[in-house]
Structure 1
Amino acid sequence: MSLPLLSSLSIFILFTLFSITTSHYSSSSSSSSGSPQSSSSLSEWRSAHATYYAAVDPRDAVGGACGYGDLVKSGYGMATVGLSEVLFERGQICGACFELKCVDDLRWCIPGTSIIVTATNFCAPNYGFTSEGGGHCNPPNKHFVLPIEAFEKIAIWKAGNMPVQYRRIKCRREGGMRFTIGGSGIFLSALITNVGGSGDIVGVKVKGSRTGWLPMGRNWGQNWHVNALLQNQPLSFEVTGSDGRTVTSYSVAPKDWSFGQTFEGKQFE
């Protein structure tokens, strides 16, 4: 069942006006890396609904409201999800990990299964329908829109609007956080991907070899920016997750970095 996930361009316009390492499928007792989650990293199970979309064009896997671009190249693959407005938190939730399982429908649920997915997109409300009708992503609904490849890990595709339970879990990633540097001149942006721990980011600072620590603002999704001339300086980044933990990666980008390059830093443990 297809629902209106936002493209990169449309979410950029929306946010301007108002100023989906790889996650893996798992059993309900496993993390995305295959090792058990500690009890301290799990939140309580909550009720929601889920539908799916089937990508009919390879470009459908590119873009999204979190700014990750090509989800396969970014390392997220099909283990991704678009969130309804009450869950999306204006993009702050981007990068967070959720575990979902099918419930209450023995006809369509695949028993004993769950999936772990990363928030990468936004499902826009459709006020032409009621929340109980076709407006699945309308407030106050808690709704997840999954690629069909993920949906079919927990339910038969004929299920349609499926009752599920979900919980936030700790993100486990392979390798370090990745920083893709964009911009031009004095405008520098950083797309931050492959974030472990809480997965979502609440604060970023950047430092050149000739500057102090400069706070970056959230441009949209997990794209952060600052107005500063930082060329010809090695760059360090300080990233703070929603759980309050901070990781500092010194000299991530060498002195001769260029716009468009991606560099790997430290990771939340």
Structure 2
Amino acid sequence: METRSKPWSFMLLAVVVAEASGFMPAEAAGWSKGSATFYGGSDASGTMGGACGYGNLYWTGYGTGTAALSEALGGGDGGWCNPPRAHFDMAQPAWLHIGIYKGGVVPVLYQRVACVKRGGVRFTMGGFEHFQLVLISNVAGTGDIKAVWVKGAGTERMPMSRNWGANWQSLAALAGQALTFGVTDTGGQTVVFPNVVPGLAFTSSLQFSY
């Protein structure tokens, strides 16, 4: 496992409500000001999938504690999500931990924290002979991937490109080969996953750590 020296940049965000009076106190050390709303129903079915491409959030281990992030936090495309707003558009079950259904927009304080996951990083395969699409999920640490390479049993190492969200692609003929992936997160840590078995899904025994 190769580790490069870079600052941590954790992607799981802990959100707390400001005082009920509406007064937003000055940021404590490590905390920043933002705002939050919610969308979708109480079962979070309307927020399933999302821009990260995880699909069924229960199966991939993320559940309903999710939020769409504004441009300033890593995504978003307008309105409350315009920069420089730090805004969370949360799934309703997550929202109800910090606000009430009729609450509208609430001020929050937030900070980035490490993603803690059970088990190893998961690879879900798609595509066909000359197009491999891989969803990489259950990622601990920063929880966010910035680069991936792949090596087949009969090929050299080659970079993959981001298709969308957490899905990465290769246009090489890799079907039927045991694959080795090198995955680098946004904190700069690289983990090599050897002999990922071809098939619909594979859970490794390796995980990112700090």
Going from structure 1 to structure 2, the CA distance change for 1:80 and 1:57 (only over 3 Å counts) comes to closer
**Counterpart check, 1:124 vs 2:77:** yes
**Counterpart check, 1:250 vs 2:194:** yes
TM-score norm. by structure 2 comes to 0.80
The gaps in structure 1 that reach 5 residues or longer are 1-22, 28-42, 90-122, 126-134
Name the counterpart of 1:54: 40
Aligned equivalents of 1:197, 1:206: Cα separation in 2: 21
Name the counterpart of 2:6: none
Name the counterpart of 2:105: 161
CA apart distance, 1:142: 1.1
* Cα RMSD, aligned residues only: 2.4
**Counterpart check, 1:199 vs 2:143:** yes
Per-residue CA deviation, residues 239-265 of structure 1 (Å, 9 max, x unaligned), is 101111111111021xxx23xx01112
CA contact (8 A) 1:179 1:264 kept: yes
Equivalenced residue count is: 185
**Counterpart check, 1:188 vs 2:132:** yes
Name the counterpart of 1:216: 160
Aligned equivalents of 1:147, 1:56: Cα separation in 2: 8
Q: Which has the higher helix share?
A: 1
List, as ranges, runs of 4+ consecutive aligned residues in structure 1 with deviation greater than 3 Å: 56-59
The gaps in structure 2 that reach 5 residues or longer are 1-11, 17-28
Aligned equivalents of 1:159, 1:58: Cα separation in 2: 18
Question: Which of the numbers 37, 45, 67 marks the counterpart of 2:31?
Answer: 45
Equivalences for 1:90-169 in 2 at 5 Å? Answer: 123-125=76-78, 135-169=79-113
CA contact (8 A) 1:61 1:71 kept: no
Q: Structure 2: which amino acid aligns with 1:160?
A: G
Name the counterpart of 2:74: 88
Once the two structures are overlaid, the 10-residue window that deviates more, 226-235 or 135-144, is 135-144
CA apart distance, 1:183: 0.9
Q: Structure 2: which amino acid aligns with 1:165?
A: L
Per-residue CA deviation, residues 49-82 of structure 1 (Å, 9 max, x unaligned), is 0011232787524321111111112111111111
Going from structure 1 to structure 2, the CA distance change for 1:215 and 1:167 (only over 3 Å counts) comes to same
